[in-house]
Structure 1
């Protein structure tokens, strides 16, 4: 396993550095076509080698099977090569590698700047590889347009945003000057993408989608069954929401009740951030008072505006975990700010989808005892591979599971906050229906946007951003409710206290659900 991780890190230095592994923060890695092809060949060899390896203990077997699930997923995706289809593969590596180190500040500033200078020098080569590798027969216009939106933020991001995070004046000036060639490369990529004509599809197809569910996520079913599970969950939640809506606006029309609740929102983006911070602290106190989990020593969660480069492609709150291979236990809950070019009405709609009734559920999901608690606590797991590989079917499933668990504990104690909690859950049921239908060619983008705007309490603009994300990230959107339901099922078989269950299953990592069940019930 140590040999495998050494290979994995050396081939993916941006990932390695983001995890906190030493020695990888000076390079972006190799993005030319031959490097991608070599990785595809080498992972087949690793699959054969690890599949034949004996596992003396249950923990060893879980480690091995975790890596095998990741390898099988990657090998299946070789038939759907993102590096030929999607500019974000290249842009994401640049943006994350430049922003995250300054956000975390785990090393002295001169070292951070030195690493950034080294990576900046490689940006033109990475973006040149993007232009060379994108295949007009495979790349989809939708994905290229997403990439174009991100690429347009590149110049300002490199020449202003990143230097502004440097406190030393001389180092700041040095970084800004060195950023110019990289910024020019972004300008060149913007021109390229703006004129790039392509005719590929973003639809993954049922066969590959189901393969990923079964072999990477270790679920016992494929896309069609998952679709039906989403429809059944939506219907069940709809019935309960009709009952709660009666207490909110006197009717069973929960959409109208949510529209009413969404009118009570923070007046500005800055106010939204401040109110989320207060709600995050309230959730932490509630969890600690009821002794629902064990907290990691030194954990801390900052609540900050979302990074500029994420705003064109992410319309919801999200989280940056502490690097698990480091000693840090500090994470960031990013509040979903809008791009600078949004109209006042678009900003208002974003604020409405972060209303005061919805904030408790979102803070629980992103921070306590959701993502931040989970990922800061599991960083203490002694098994390295558990810190490197995790699946959204556990991590997102966990964050949605704890929303319901805290409701059971009395956290959402008004009809308004209960309805908003249920709305967060029915939104995830709608995601299952839409994501499976989109990628199995049963629903158009327009139909999906209408579904999300009418079957969940999303504004048309937010629904559009959500569907755009599903098209670009197949299988991720169903992970929330699917994982939550599976964790609830495992809990029903656990012999012990609620705190013991939470510490055991969440502390074991972010495992595919079949392996998480083994870890929890062993």
Structure 2
């Protein structure tokens, strides 16, 4: 989450009181008067102290960052919408410094388990990343898309299990009153905004207007509020809507000026900021330049594999034609021929829905993972305020929302011309659409995030690592292919092999593109050549990926990083355990560590294996 708006509250004060008085465990030991408790008692006291500190941190964190609390499933926090002022930035900096100092004392205490030490490392990294973002990255000054109030409103509107509608409308009303001040401060923050982020902010906030024009008025009517209360809330909603409209209009004026005079900050982070952000967000065993070189090498490996599949398929697809001498041309011809097999545009979302049960059945029958049938997956069109970054995504409930619904968001194709829709569907053809559903749904993101929320570590679930999350989804694709998914009559399918390799090439190209754009200054023409000619992506897909590389940074590197580290860990454990290695046991133990960085999970799993 990029934005963390909030303010201090009674919860934060309570956390500071705990610091002053000492934890319950410390107090208990002092009362016992024991100079040196037995080892078991000391371990128990350390665990109690650690748990108390984590709870105190979380109470203070939710108070400071209510949108993060909403993402975790604490929906009552959605009522608070602090304006992103300079004073607030200073509050957040102070919060980070105070908790870095406090958690360092916890880390120095004896008796922590390896899992607890890992939790502290995650919190330390999170707070250092926050401090760096507030002092070095300063994206609040140039990324206008950071300012969007929509999601917590949508969460409250769509959570009947949280509270009855009248109660939820009370929280919505409180939030509505703060919208004008929020956008006033947001506009004041922007200094020479990036044009590409400016355009994204205009589009996403325009998408958010439907909440104020349609959804909230509809909810007010359905709740049958007393006329005076309904009128008052409608007035607050109208003011909030005007504030969003005014923000959009102001951004459009800035955009018009930028187009006239060529001003505006570059979207590129540059080497120093990108590599620092990579270290904080990816938390890999390698740095960004090393990952880039590994991606280049893996690209060549995949092209060789794809060339072999193309040779195998060429005779049946082009019986009377000579094989092109150019390897890329040969592969492209075969892919182009196969890609004509795809779903009809009007069936795109429905076909995705229909495939989920087949994936679930496969996972169970092949004993790959234990699934939870009580937590269904809902496929839906991506809400308009979320569009413009990725065409498919997962919205999973937070740790504090155990009954929440997981949504598989799919962008509808109505934004495309018929030619663009055909280009898109050729990209997500019969074979690739299956891999996409594995990645996003089963056994990818949907399954991993359910496991994460069941982790015994709240920290590893709440402050998860994006490279682990994306890496698991890519690894899930490999898992399914290795188990035989996509085979024909029990034999590996060359068509699926080629398209799966193409998808893997996309993962690798993401990392190459990410580093090349933000560090090496790759141009749009160079990016399109990489994506279309060298990675065989359709024009529509390549254009959207170029846009994504501009409005995001380091996230595109997370797929290849996490996948390669998970696969390496699996092979390490296979070599160590030999015939005792069990694939399902590996998967479930790996997922039991929440969404911790792979290198942290690797250490914990290898240490456990060493003791066995």
Q: Same fold (TM over 0.5)?
A: yes
Match of 1:190 in 2: 248
Secondary structure of the 1:318 match is: strand
Alignment of 1:105-504 (within 5 A): 105-107=160-162, 108-136=164-192, 139-161=193-215, 168=222, 170=224, 178-196=236-254, 197=258, 198-250=263-315, 253-269=330-346, 271-296=347-372, 298-311=374-387, 313-328=388-403, 330-338=405-413, 342-413=416-487, 414-494=493-573, 495=577, 496-504=581-589
State which of 71, 85, 98 in structure 2 corresponds to 1:18.
71
User: Are the equivalent residues in 1 in contact too, given 2:475–2:567 (CA < 8 A)?
Assistant: yes
Q: Secondary structure at the match of 1:333?
A: strand
Question: Is this contact kept in 2: 1:154–1:183, CA < 8 A?
Answer: no
Distance in 2 between residues matched to 1:268 and 1:178, nearest whole Å: 40
C-alpha distance after superposition, 1:484-510 (max 9, x if no partner): 010011112224311111111112111
Q: How far off its partner does 1:27 sit?
A: 1.9
In 1, are the aligned partners of 2:457 and 2:594 still within 8 Å (CA)?
Answer: no
Task: Please say which of residues 126-135 and 395-404 is displaced more in the overlay.
Answer: 126-135
Q: How many angstroms does 1:480 deviate by? A: 0.5
Deviation at 1:513, TM superposition (A): 2.1
User: Judging changes above 3 Å, is the alpha-carbon distance between structure 1 residues 164 and 230 closer, same or farther for their aligned structure 2 residues?
Assistant: farther
Distance (whole Å) between structure 2 residues aligned to residue 64 and residue 345 of structure 1: 51
Deviation at 1:407, TM superposition (A): 0.5
Q: Which residue of 1 aligns with 2:126?
A: 70
Structure (1 or 2) with the greater helix fraction: 2
Query: Structure 1 163/244 Cα, relative in aligned 2: closer, same or farther at 3 Å?
Result: farther
Name the SS of the counterpart of 2:341 in structure 1.
coil
- Number of equivalenced pairs: 515
Contact 1:217–1:513 (CA<8 Å) still a contact in 2? Answer: no
After superposition, the Cα gap between the structure-2 partners of 1:457 and 1:101, relative to the gap in structure 1 and judged at 3 Å, is farther
The structure 2 residue matched to 1:98, chosen from 153, 158, 162, is 153
CA contact (8 A) 1:11 1:29 kept: no
| 1:52 aligns with one of 105, 109, 113 | 105
C-alpha contact 1:321 1:330 (8 A) present in aligned 2: yes
Which of the residues 136, 140, 144 maps onto 1:83?
A: 140
SS in 2 for 1:327: coil
Given that 1:264 and 1:352 are in contact with CA atoms closer than 8 Å, whether structure 2 keeps it comes out as yes
Q: 1:160 to 1:514 in 2, by over 3 A?
A: same
TM-score, normalised to structure 2, is: 0.79
Please tell me whether Structure 1 or Structure 2 has the larger radius of gyration of its CA atoms.
Answer: 2
Residues 439 and 319 of structure 1: CA distance in aligned 2, closer, same or farther (over 3 Å): same
More displaced 10-residue stretch of structure 1: 234-243 or 112-121: 112-121
